[in-house]
Amino acid sequence: MRAEKLFNRPEDRTLDKSELSAWQSAEEIVKSTTEREWQQIEAFYAAPQKETYARKSYATLLNNFSGELDRAADWHRKNHQPQPKLGTPPQWT
């Protein structure tokens, strides 16, 4: 599962009781996550921890999955805005 890869979990590792419970609660939202959302959350979890304060456990991620999608999208917007070229005045709208 793609969410497990965020924590470098082996594919054959079984879920513990808290992870299983969290998965049962989050299954629908995880399965409905778009490719764009996956790309954002993967980049968010790959970024330095001091930038993102990403969850450290799989069960906690699942218990807060929709919120993590929002956090990843916000982080992506803030960190992937086009930067103005040096010497170019800002465009005011």
Q: What are the sequence ranges of the domains in the chain? A: 2-79
pTM of the model: 0.79
Q: Which amino acid, 68?
A: E
d(CA 34, CA 27): 14
Q: What is the DSSP letter of 84?
A: P
CA 8 to each of CA 12, 20, 62, 74, 78: distance values in angstroms, whole numbers, following the listed order: 12, 17, 15, 24, 26
Tens of pLDDT along the chain (93 residues)?
A: 899 999 988 888 999 999 999 999 999 999 999 999 999 999 999 999 888 999 999 999 999 999 999 999 999 999 876 655 666 666 665
Terminal Cα distance for the chain, rounded: 43
